[in-house]
Structure 1
């Protein structure tokens, strides 16, 4: 018969004395009230501060949007949707129509294909790194996700142009990307091991290139089956809102961009609020191994003061141009009402526990980072200062004000990380960062997280 022995309690273990001590809070009447509310209505609903909801109207003094929102559905393409939404603000005017959409499917196709090539080149270049190193494990874990950021979007549009939605409409996998992504990830991880073996065994550059191109043929096949073939040219005809018919004949995607968008994307730069004290404001930052197009646009952030980011964003909206931005929407937000409001949920009050943190504490502890990209389409200015922001999301028309959200200025300060502005709008003390050698952050740095 086997006898179980009891191991003596070690220091730091939970014992009966500790259990009795922590359970003393069970006698607190406020705990009972909170328990009743949370178990019936959930944490977010119970913590929702009604004064914040009532005190955040959707109206703003400067509003650009009179169009309908887009819907990324079950995909992580917010960075593509929001950047294309910025471009379509100009295209709508050029075409004389209120509502127009680019093909987000087309943009994603080229991002996926280019990103696979970027990854394979990276794997070859880092073949001497141990397989279990932090870098290689990071690269293998993060491949072929849907997320991205501003410079990556620019790389796609500058190389491949854009097309109207009807020229390459949505498919089931484009609107629900999980299974397509997992197949691409399986392929690329398996082939990455083969490429590493080839590289470390002394294969020539020609042999490595041929092996990489063979993998890309398989990637192309998966993408075409899932998303369709990206057109190299298409016929474009439309009717404007006055009922006038127009035809452009046959255009390539780059010709369509030049004719109907025409925005010089090289004239924009991404400002970031990196709150860590070791990263001074005014410095240019980049993230190692981040990108999607080999030979594409450099990943460059300018670490800017929050007040500068707000001013430049507000100035752009007042001048008539929406603003792309990236933020952490997992914090203090309510999807149904379309609210992004500082302290919208009083979690500390609900639990009777101090849960307050600073933005820097959230970043360095892994609590917060950019995870969603949207478009500012309005700002409410009082006494020369912004106090509310109108946001075009890409979650369809159901949440908020027919898909538009309202953000208060406190939420902007705490949870917005990136804002894209024109280079020529920068104050003098930030202009040097446009061309200076950027400070390189490691691949896993929180500033490298993707929307």
Structure 2
């Protein structure tokens, strides 16, 4: 029915021609008539598309020297999980801890917050199932929830909610587990349970069970979720010791702290002092306006993801201001585009796909975003920038994929790539203009959950 209704537009019947053997033979003849196609085919079938199209000059131009360089500590490794947003935020926090206490290569426990993120997302899922219980099972809302009851992805404001509620702990107090380093099995089993619980919840709502009965059921299921997470990830500590030896070899130990006490009393950072600034050049998201995305949280009554959309030049200015102050910048981008993972180079000129295929993939940044060709897929930290004649030429990036890529885990992003594929940064509100701060405080336009800015979109 959908296809039939959409074949007719303005009284005209639209339909693509079937692929006949004659048409395919014509394609083959045209391909074989071009000698350049044979050369490209040999290169691609032997080396793969990316290696065949790789631009050596672009690699040579993107070295690892920067005029402003604020971060050189040892990189982290999220392994086979989608926790990049969490790793990157904790990298910003640990930078402040290292600076505050004159220590190096300190690391916070990602597994600790991962545990509570999963627990909160389960409770958030239950609430959303209740809220949509009156909708048909086939509704877009319900299917969105059931497609991924919980996952690893997130954004800056989600980490604020977690840290303010649960605090932070040193990595040695809750180290990685097999299931945090590879979350595939945990996500599979946890989502299986949540979907089964959704069946019961929808039946209870539609049979007019009391609020107390429904709450009791959810409480029972959360106990089971906690048990699953404890078995898979370990049980989070209630008290911890914050112990370190600084660069001057002085030993310090703060004993019997709660994780919240460590964050509030011993970490000189307030995550609420930061704002998410985005660059999404589409008509549906005008510049200088603030946006939120529905169904994009990780906890009931948690902070919504709030984005201020600005021109790219303004985003870069804010990023540079924070770097010049000596502080790195959290950001999210489309790491799947023009990125040599081994060499750690992100450059729009890295691959000559136009020359390889004799095609132009012409789309604006806004068109790529609207048509889901490009959206935020990975979060990292900008740790430096190279400025020539008052203009940025390339940016230093701290990744969370271990120290075997790029320059000991650091990558380089050229300025053109940043313009095309970076979507959001997090900067201190003090660096915003008065107008930007005023715009940030205005009522936000709420975008539907299928908007590509939804951090529920799996990150890598």
Q: Give the TM-score range, shorter chain.
A: over 0.9
Query: Is 2:155–2:305's contact at 8 Å kept on the other side of the alignment?
Result: no
- Cα deviation for residue 420 of structure 1 reads 0.5
Equivalent in the alignment of 1:351: 357
Equivalent in the alignment of 2:48: 42
Equivalent in the alignment of 2:20: 15
Query: Is 1:274–1:447's contact at 8 Å kept on the other side of the alignment?
Result: no
Counterpart among 197, 201, 204 of residue 207 in structure 2? 201
Query: Is 1:290–1:448's contact at 8 Å kept on the other side of the alignment?
Result: yes
- Is residue 406 of structure 2 the alignment partner of residue 406 of structure 1? no
Report the 3-state secondary structure (helix = DSSP H, G, I; strand = E; otherwise coil) of the residue aligned with 2:453.
Answer: helix
Q: Tell me, in whole angstroms, the C-alpha distance in 2 between the residues paired with 1:34 and 1:390.
A: 33
- Is residue 389 of structure 2 the alignment partner of residue 395 of structure 1? no
Q: Tell me, in whole angstroms, the C-alpha distance in 2 between the residues paired with 1:235 and 1:285.
A: 40
Alignment of 1:412-427 (within 5 A): 412-427=418-433
Equivalent in the alignment of 1:4: none
- Cα deviation for residue 264 of structure 1 reads 1.2
Residues 119-161 of structure 1, C-alpha deviation per residue, up to 9 Å, x if partnerless?
1111111111111101100011122211111111111111110
Q: Tell me, in whole angstroms, the C-alpha distance in 2 between the residues paired with 1:11 and 1:76.
A: 39
- Cα deviation for residue 96 of structure 1 reads 2.1
Equivalent in the alignment of 2:12: none
- Is residue 348 of structure 2 the alignment partner of residue 335 of structure 1? no
The normalised TM-score by structure 2 is 0.94
Equivalent in the alignment of 2:391: 385
Residues 359-417 of structure 1, C-alpha deviation per residue, up to 9 Å, x if partnerless?
11211111111010000000111111111100000000000000000000000010001
Which deviates the most, 331-340 or 238-247? Answer: 238-247
- Is residue 82 of structure 2 the alignment partner of residue 113 of structure 1? no
Report the 3-state secondary structure (helix = DSSP H, G, I; strand = E; otherwise coil) of the residue aligned with 1:325.
Answer: strand
- Cα deviation for residue 426 of structure 1 reads 1.2
Query: Is 1:124–1:195's contact at 8 Å kept on the other side of the alignment?
Result: yes
Residues 8-41 of structure 1, C-alpha deviation per residue, up to 9 Å, x if partnerless?
xx97111233223222121211111111111111
Query: Is 1:173–1:227's contact at 8 Å kept on the other side of the alignment?
Result: yes
Equivalent in the alignment of 2:5: none
Residues 320-340 of structure 1, C-alpha deviation per residue, up to 9 Å, x if partnerless?
010000000000110011001
Equivalent in the alignment of 2:225: 219
Query: Is 2:380–2:399's contact at 8 Å kept on the other side of the alignment?
Result: yes
Structure 1, unpaired ranges of 5+: 1-9
- Is residue 130 of structure 2 the alignment partner of residue 124 of structure 1? yes
Equivalent in the alignment of 1:56: 62
Aligned residues: 442
Counterpart among 308, 313, 323 of residue 302 in structure 1? 308
- Cα deviation for residue 210 of structure 1 reads 1.0
Report the 3-state secondary structure (helix = DSSP H, G, I; strand = E; otherwise coil) of the residue aligned with 1:375.
Answer: strand
Query: Is 1:78–1:374's contact at 8 Å kept on the other side of the alignment?
Result: yes
Q: Tell me, in whole angstroms, the C-alpha distance in 2 between the residues paired with 1:142 and 1:382.
A: 45
Report the 3-state secondary structure (helix = DSSP H, G, I; strand = E; otherwise coil) of the residue aligned with 2:208.
Answer: coil
**Alignment root-mean-square deviation, CA:** 1.3
Residues 184-243 of structure 1, C-alpha deviation per residue, up to 9 Å, x if partnerless?
000001101111111121112111111111111111000000111111111232222222
Alignment of 1:182-331 (within 5 A): 182-331=188-337
Q: Tell me, in whole angstroms, the C-alpha distance in 2 between the residues paired with 1:415 and 1:213.
A: 42
Report the 3-state secondary structure (helix = DSSP H, G, I; strand = E; otherwise coil) of the residue aligned with 1:285.
Answer: strand
Q: Tell me, in whole angstroms, the C-alpha distance in 1 between the residues paired with 2:149 and 2:211.
A: 23
Report the 3-state secondary structure (helix = DSSP H, G, I; strand = E; otherwise coil) of the residue aligned with 2:297.
Answer: coil
Q: Tell me, in whole angstroms, the C-alpha distance in 2 between the residues paired with 1:435 and 1:407.
A: 31
Report the 3-state secondary structure (helix = DSSP H, G, I; strand = E; otherwise coil) of the residue aligned with 2:111.
Answer: helix
Query: Is 2:321–2:431's contact at 8 Å kept on the other side of the alignment?
Result: no
- Cα deviation for residue 57 of structure 1 reads 1.4
Query: Is 2:289–2:440's contact at 8 Å kept on the other side of the alignment?
Result: no
Q: Tell me, in whole angstroms, the C-alpha distance in 1 between the residues paired with 2:117 and 2:268.
A: 21
Q: Tell me, in whole angstroms, the C-alpha distance in 1 between the residues paired with 2:83 and 2:253.
A: 30
Q: Tell me, in whole angstroms, the C-alpha distance in 1 between the residues paired with 2:211 and 2:443.
A: 30
Which deviates the most, 362-371 or 100-109? Answer: 362-371
Q: Tell me, in whole angstroms, the C-alpha distance in 2 between the residues paired with 1:443 and 1:22.
A: 41
Query: Is 1:348–1:356's contact at 8 Å kept on the other side of the alignment?
Result: no
Q: Tell me, in whole angstroms, the C-alpha distance in 2 between the residues paired with 1:20 and 1:120.
A: 55
Query: Is 1:290–1:443's contact at 8 Å kept on the other side of the alignment?
Result: yes
